[in-house]
Amino acid sequence: MAISEISKNALTVLEKRYLGKDEEGRPIETVEGMFRRVADTIAAADAKYDTTTDTRALSDAFYTLMTDLRFLPNSPTLMNAGRVLGQLSACFVLPVEDSMEGIFDSVKNAALIHKSGGGTGFSFSRLRQSGSSVRSTGGVASGPISFMKVFNAATEAVKQGGTRRGANMGVLRIDHPDILEFINCKADNKEITNFNISVGITEAFMEAVENQSDYDLIDPKTKQAVGHLSAEKVFDLIVDHAWKNGEPGIIFLDRLNRDNVTPTQGEIESTNPCGEQPLLPYESCNLGSINLVKMLRKTLTGYEFDFRLLGETVAQAVHFLDNVIDANNYPLEKIGETTRASRKIGLGVMGWADALLMLGIPYNSNEAVELAERVMGYINTAGHAASSKLAEKRGTFPLFSVSTLKDGAAMRNATVTTIAPTGTLSIIGGCSSGVEPVFAYAFIRNIMDGTEMIEVNPVLTAKLKELGLYSDALLRKIAAEGTIAHCEEIPQEVRNVFVCSHDIKPIDHIKMQAAFQHHTDNAVSKTVNFPKEATRNEVRDVYLLAYREGCKGVTIYRDGSREEQVLNIGKVNREGQPAAAAACPTCQEERFGHIEPRPRPDVTRGFTEKMRIGCGSLYVTTNYDENGICEVFTSTGKAGGCPSQSEATARLVSVALRSGISIQEVYDQLKGIRCPSTIRQQGMSCTSCPDAIAKVIMKVSKIIEDQPREKASYEMPAESSIPQKHPIVPASASEIHVCPECGNVVEHEGGCVICRNCGFSKCG
């Protein structure tokens, strides 16, 4: 048993996100207890097929598989197996039909899935284009993007109460008449924040790009051409937006359907939120990953892959994941029926970059690409063999037909392999994430007693000690940039091997993705990282290379391309050393740039103004001292209102202002928020309680800034006189660059964002 190998950081993540808790949020489960709970639950599914199975022995085997950190299932399985919720799947795809009933059925179903801890993918391609007629009402359709915003709002509401955040993928076909609006819909980082978006690319479109010709736009209702666009110009528009902020990604729809094992059940239209799992409507998939670092064995000259151990691990993992399908408590019976009909599983890998380091192979080398082909080819072949062996005992998946034979063998599972992002799982496993390169080799933490601790990649630590170079000064230098590329103290041959994400050319990212894709049933989740100075043409070249190399999709991220980004790697203090993280006094998480609000002064001065709101009157009291506004109070009149909501807003405003957030930023965030009670009423002085608070604090700030306080007149400045600037937007699902929970630097991978400090993931 290898529980002792779980790092302190991994233990923190497990306690915060995975272990069972009491009503007050205190852990009531040990790490060993969690793994035993999962192993017992998944092993028990064997009894469905053989009542003589020794499920205790099988549970012990599954327990060892996980505690040795050789394999870990996706997060919902670790969280929910053997507990009341019992929802074990990570990813789902739901249809969006072209009717009001169908659309809002999907909104409801998505909410149920998000509540249970899953992520959802949607294609909005069936929805008629904006401006087209709606026969039943005589009106005009508002189009796919307007309904994406409805789904986004529902996700925002549901995700507040869960341990995993709701995440979505939104797909629109390249030939939909609203494709230009879709490509542009996330140009503003504040829009549709709970969605990743991808354009569904067809082979015909890519041929038109290469031929510099036009292509047709197709009415989704009539299936008739209703216009045409220049393929090259649309492709360049996609590239331009991806260069600006990483969205949209692209998926190659025809390739997804080329490998659709059950075409009689429909067409694949979408994927899960990170793009690696194409699914039919109402399908779900259970994912899990093998830790490739644990598949290495030491030799007299270094390390090599132990393919015997890898084969045994693959067989156990396929058995485990097939059992998950039967142990699962699906959020909708329709999803359960559809999933059991195809029994898709997605076995992938993590720790690939760390394994290459231990082997002494540069990530950006032909040798690494060739090894990826060999290792993933072996996993795929062994996985299919394990699925075929299960089919002999349990039967094939119900939709099996001769056309679904793999290497001439009947299969238990329609698909077996998937390369998923493994952000939180790789923290637990103590290895690099998925098939991504190492993001940064070192960063600095500040421990609660004020001492600094430098977190260093364990493989690099071992190498530096072997070379006699391990020192605090060198580690601080590495932490300043995250890379060792400029550390001349380290031999060049070592620097050539220990490359990080930004040391690698984008084309080498694609070559690695393609190598894994060649031996993966589903798709590969990976982010192609670009330096900030990368050009649009470089992004374009990568998209074209991904197409030519046989990838099923591609996601890119250009460093610094989103305006709210704060880079923590490279931030230094006054002594020229990397800035350390400060421990948050509330949650004790180490974080960069944490600000404590200043204490409330003993004596304040202030104003109270009566504001008319939709449900009566709101009294807003704004107090200030010599440093500016320090607190806001609200009180509702006799007519009622929303006292808890307005009080919560006032408290947060007070804390924000005492923490140094500017009045303008608070104003920008609250102004214009509209309450339904104001919609049909004339003469409103504000549109909601938050809007009222915004107006009053801006008014008071003008008074105390521009006039002697003891003679302050109390007149609202004209809206046009309020200085305007681009608001600083709170971190949200699509544009976070520092962790919203602990403040640490985050990593972009596979269309997802992960914090390796606390385990936060925007994709759940």
Before 690, cis peptide (omega within 30)?
no
Look up residue 452 and give its two tokens. 């600094």
Residue 504 is encoded by which pair of tokens?
């690698």
Length of the chain: 764
Cα 469 versus chain centre, distance: 37
- Cβ(434)–Cβ(498) below 8 Å: no
CB of 297 closer than 8 Å to CB of 312:
no
Closest among 438, 445, 441 to 457, alpha carbons compared: 441
Task: Report the candidate in 380, 472, 386 with the shortest Cα–Cα distance to residue 418.
Answer: 380
**Cα–Cα distance, 283 to 268 (Å, whole number):** 10
Contact 509, 498 (CB under 8 A): no
- For the chain, percent helix, then strand, then coil, each to nearest 5? 40, 20, 40
Is 493 one of the catalytic residues?
no
Instruction: Measure the CA–CA gap between 634 and 622, rounded to whole angstroms.
Output: 9
Catalytic site includes residue 80: no
Query: Which residue type is seen at 42?
Result: I
The residue annotated as part of the active site, out of 74, 80, 189, 272, is: 272
End-to-end CA distance of the chain: 28
Q: How far apart are CA 415 and CA 613, in angstroms?
A: 56
Q: Alpha carbon 699 to chain centroid distance?
A: 40
CB-hemisphere CA count at 13 Å for 651?
A: 6
Helix spans in 301-422 (H): 307-327, 333-342, 352-359, 366-394
The full DSSP string for 681-743 is -SS-S-SSHHHHHHHHHHHHHHHHHHS-GGG----PPPGGGS---PPPPPP-TTT-SB-TTT-
Q: Which residues contact 32 (CB under 8 A, 6 or more apart)?
A: 3, 67
Check residue 269 and give left, alpha or beta (phi > 0: left; psi -120 to 50: alpha): alpha
Q: Write down the residue that tokens 């609250």 correspond to.
A: 670
273 vs 198: CA distance, rounded Å? 10
Q: Rounded CA gap, 751 and 555, in Å?
A: 6
**Catalytic option among 276, 283, 455, 747:** 276
Going by the DSSP 8-state scheme, the letter that residue 602 receives in this structure is S
Q: Which position among 274, 551, 615, 742 bears the catalytic label?
A: 274
Q: What are the beta bridge partners of residue 92?
A: 120, 284
Give the pair of three-digit tokens for residue 577.
């050393």
C-alpha R_g of the chain: 27
Burial degree of 469 (CB within 10 A; 0-12, 13-18, 19+): middle
Quick check: is 291 catalytic?
no
The residues that are catalytic are 272, 274, 276
